Amino acid sequence: MPDEKTGRLDEEYVVQMKGITKVYPNGVAANQGVDFNLRRGEIHALMGENGAGKSTLMKMLFGLEQPTSGEIWVNGEKLTLSSPTVAISHGIGMVHQHFMLVPSLTVAENMVLGMAPRRGLFIDHAKAVAITKEYAEKYNLHVEPEAKVMDIPVGMKQKVEILKALVRGAKILILDEPTAVLTTQETVELFKELRHLKEQGYTIVFISHKLNEIMEITDRLTIMRGGRSMGVYNTCDVTKEEISRLMVGRDVILNVQKDKAQPTDVVLRVRDVEYVNEWHKKMLDKISFDVRRGEILGIAGVEGNGQKELVDMLFGFLTPNAGTVTMQSENILGLSQQKLRDKGVALIPEDRMLYGIAGSASIEENLISDRSAEKRLNRGPLFNMKAIHDEADKLIEDYAVLCKSRKQQVGMLSGGNIQKVVVAREFSGNPLLILADQPTRGIDVGATEFIRKKLVELSRSGIAVLLISADLAEVMELSDSLIVMHGGKIAAYFEDTSTLTDDVMGEYMLGLKAQSEEEIRRVCHD
């Protein structure tokens, strides 16, 4: 039930964002005509999948980005928020997902950075500590002023961030996925503190996609999808299922032509893998699955539920604490990237600019990075330049890379064409197993379609494909069978994706439901 639209400036709204549109210089429209209102003293959830435009909207409210069109009103005043400093001066504070703290400084020092109290030439440490204590007590946010930030737990770091905003006079707090890094106990504590802040008249924006938390803590919620607002609701008036349906859904139904998969023998076998990250959070919890020749196994899930760690582990970038991973019955844990590639593993990396390419090298040089030592490309000690040129030209043609020549710098290409270069290399190296991590993120429609088609083609030619994607449409349409990850665990396994609906997916992805162990166990084809 959408909130009634108010044309006039209402006293009850501390923030009104009207018709906000944001188009980035690269042409991506992150927000389109979004309306967003905050009532004084409420906890307001901003929900949506990755890439729905939540962060962009909040960045504009905090002055980190400027809207292409639309108006922002704060306390009945129309503002141009040109920088965070301006936003802070109007009482808007933001707690970023990646903390803006200096690890080797103490809590108190971080609190007063840039506004340190002085006594003569020196910092008045006692006063800094006193200020910290005063605010910590007033808002019931327990921190240790004298401890170094690097020594305190994540939960306390977050409190320091909140206090930092409060001490600078923030009345409106934007919390960007505050519970993503917290343990359950820490989350409980945070909620207590947020309620306390609310009672004192503070307004809080809570960015999240965890349904249970939203139901528990917020008064109202705005749902975003594909850069647009899907409406504003009173939290008590909607059910989790409704939210899930509004939030998770395909904006476009892809029509990927594919025959039914005929999977044969198992290529990759993962058993009981566990991984605990450096902040002691269990990112992979007893993960077991198989990937077979001739099928695309999809891994769906909201980002941050262990997918990244899984890929890193499969490609030798991190070692799990427990479990086994074999490829055609041979252990592949602890192998170098070179050995993995020799065994036939290919990876389309999520961060293509960091891992996928050498930006200032030519397209050709990027295309041969995994095969520069192969005999057919060398003649004695020298490169066989003709063979390399032919290889590059062929790949450029086969994968329709739009470029002036193979000598062009790869970094000068558009995102879609850069990804095509990566894909061309990874797909053409005779792989046995392709790990495709967010293969079409942030690239144009043409390139996206092309890459998806190729993935299907390759799987049908007998290659095993593991597709990791936060794009629901992609993972549901492309995959033959599908795993849903939630909280480092496999929440569900679907042998056949053709009958799956968005609603069902949403419930598993957001942790409303989980399959039984026997059901999940079916992904192991022993």
Q: Rule CB under 8 A: which residues touch another protein?
A: 84-85, 99-105, 109-110, 113-116, 118, 121-123, 125, 164, 168, 276, 278, 280, 315, 321, 336-338, 340-342, 347, 349, 354-361, 365, 368-370, 372-373, 377-378, 381-383, 385
Q: Which is nearer to another protein, 262 or 405 (CB)?
A: 405
Q: Are 158 and 99 in contact (CB under 8 A)?
A: yes
Tokens of 77: 């005043």
Q: Give min distance, CB of 30 to another protein, in A.
A: 21
Query: Which residue lies nearer to another protein by CB, 84 or 231?
Result: 84
Contact 374, 342 (CB under 8 A): no
At residue 344, φ and ψ (nearest 5 deg) are 100, 25
Q: Which residues of 97-114 are buried (b: 16+ CB within 10 A; e: fewer)?
A: eebebeeeebbbbbbbee
Helix then strand then coil, in percent of the chain rounded to 5, is: 35, 25, 40
Phi, psi (degrees; rounded to nearest 5) at 327: -125, 120
CB of 465 to another protein, least distance (A): 19
Amino acid at 306: G
What is the closest distance, in whole angstroms, from the C-beta atom of residue 148 to another protein in the complex? 11
CB atoms within 10 A of CB 246: 19
CB of 102 to another protein, least distance (A): 5
DSSP 106: B
User: How far is 119 from 295, CA to CA, in rounded Å?
Assistant: 69
Of residues 6 and 369, the one with the C-beta less far from another protein: 369
What distance in Å separates the CA atoms of residue 284 and residue 321, rounded to the nearest whole number?
A: 9
> H-helix or E-strand containing 108?
helix 107-112
Question: 256 or 361, CB closer to another protein?
Answer: 361
| Shorter beta-carbon distance to another protein: residue 434 or 491 | 434
Q: How far is the CB of 129 from another protein (least distance, A)?
A: 14
Q: Which residues of 469-480 are buried (b: 16+ CB within 10 A; e: fewer)?
A: bbbbbbbbbbbb
Q: Which is nearer to another protein, 357 or 456 (CB)?
A: 357
Classify strands 296-300 and 464-468 as parallel, antiparallel or unpaired. Answer: parallel
Comparison of 176 and 290: residue with beta carbon closer to another protein: 176
Nearer to another protein, 377 or 524 (CB): 377
CA gap 467, 299 in Å, rounded: 6
CA distance 284 to 524: 17
Q: Shortest Cβ distance from residue 381 to another protein (Å)?
A: 6
Tokens of 273: 């893998």
Residue closer to another protein by CB (options 19, 153) is 153
β-strands 118-119, 122-123: how paired? antiparallel
CA dist 453 and 439 (Å) reads 12
DSSP 352-401: IIIII--TTSBHHHHHTTTTTT-GGGEETTEE-HHHHHHHHHHHHHHTT-
Closer CB to another protein, residue 112 or residue 505? 112
Strands of 489-494's sheet in order across = 345-348, 433-437, 464-468, 296-300, 481-486, 489-494
Task: State how far the alpha carbon of 184 is from the alpha carbons of 154, 179, 188, 189, 457, in Å.
Answer: 12, 9, 6, 9, 43
Compute the least distance from the CB of residue 165 to another protein, in Å.
10
> Least Å distance between CB 462 and another protein?
23
* Closer Cβ to another protein, 3 or 124, answer by number: 124
Pick between residue 76 and residue 334 the one whose CB is nearest to another protein: 334
Q: How far is the CB of 246 from another protein (least distance, A)?
A: 33
Residue 393 beta carbon to another protein: minimum distance, rounded to whole angstroms: 18
> Shortest gap between Cβ of 7 and another protein (angstroms)?
36
Nearest CB to another protein, comparing residues 47 and 112? 112
Non-local CB neighbours of 310 within 8 Å, separated by 6+ positions: 273, 284, 287, 299, 468, 485
Residue 252 has which token pair? 């476009």
The minimum distance between CB 104 and another protein, in angstroms, equals 6
- In the complex, the smallest distance separating the C-beta of residue 480 from another protein, rounded to whole angstroms, is 27
